[in-house]
Amino acid sequence: MIVVFGSLNVDLLIPVDRLPNHGETVIGPGYSFAAGGKGANQALAAARAGAQVRMVGRVGTDDLSAIALNDLNLQDVDLSLVAKDEKPTGLAAICVEKGGENIIVVAAGANSNARADQVPEHLLTPETMVLLQMEVPLEENWTLVRRAKARGSRVMLNVAPAAAVPTDIVRMLDWLIVNETEAMLVADSLGRHRDNPRAAAAAVAEAAQTTVIVTLGGEGASGFSGHKIYDVAALLITPVDTVGAGDAFVGAFAAAIDSGGDISRGLAYGSVAGALACLIPGAQPSLPMKAAIDRRLKDLPPIKVH
């Protein structure tokens, strides 16, 4: 089982011809709402990829909370540990240009009150994977990591949005997932500055003795575990919207690992899921089902291990 401790938001999506410059107003033709938040996105991505998932977090008592929880409910994600809060449901304003690139501003709302003690002790077992991101109070993340490791749970952290991670926490992780920017930041925080993301991820893996996955956009992803390096390509696609691609990768990777797959299986699942998520606008609407991922695995070049 995967226990996701993280954020639940509603995304306000605004399509634009191009992203605004600093101080500039750009007019979009309309807008739409969709469920989002990195925690909820990754929980849904993992569930759609075949995992049993329990979501832990907070939403408000407002009307937006129903939107935030709808897709998770439809996918049978266990929401019994999602609490109602006096603060409003988190909201992300997302501008998406025609090429699929985006800018995002997040209002944390109820997510700022998420607490590690919402996760009961009986869920923290060696059979449980705890999946975390960086959109809830970070001290609550670190408290949960320490509790989970003390009870033998497997722990996966996605350092998104980018922020510093304490050295002792990095060393406790079973898996650390970062993008190019996040890889450089974590390496710097460990005193292992490198000039490129892959080298930074390798340095973190060596320093922390943990498995590090770095996503590289259109170049795929690389994994560093022990003395081995795993390189996976990206599917050749024409992106419509990259919102949610990173969360699709993380959720599908987690689902593959939780089902007993090795790092190669996880990277393949993550790479295909991340690419497929770029073909549909929005975060949660774009997250692919297991059958769709399985169909496209054959289109992925063999993973290189060296």
Overall size of the chain counted in residues = 306
Please state, in angstroms and as integers, the Cα–Cα distance from residue 81 to each residue in 53, 66, 119, 292, following that order: 12, 15, 7, 29
Q: In terms of DSSP bridges, do strands 53-60 and 9-16 run parallel, antiparallel, or are they unpaired?
A: unpaired
pLDDT in tens, the chain (306 residues): 999 999 999 999 899 999 999 999 999 999 999 899 999 999 999 999 999 999 999 999 999 999 999 999 999 999 999 999 999 999 999 898 887 788 989 999 999 999 999 999 999 999 999 999 999 999 999 999 999 999 999 999 999 999 999 999 999 999 999 999 999 999 999 999 999 999 999 999 999 999 999 999 989 999 999 999 999 999 989 888 888 899 999 999 999 999 999 999 999 999 999 999 999 987 898 999 999 999 999 999 999 999
Q: For residue 279, which phi and psi values (nearest 5 degrees)?
A: -95, -10
User: Which candidate, 246, 191, 164, places its Cα nearest to that of 213?
Assistant: 246
State pTM to two decimals.
0.94
The alpha carbon dihedral of 121, 122, 128, 129 has a sign of negative
Give the CA distances from residue 175 to residues 222, 256, 258, in Å, rounded to whole numbers and listed in that order. Answer: 13, 13, 12
Query: Could you tell me which of 273, 117, 239, 250 has the C-alpha nearest to residue 182?
Result: 250
Strands (E), 37-87: 53-60, 78-85
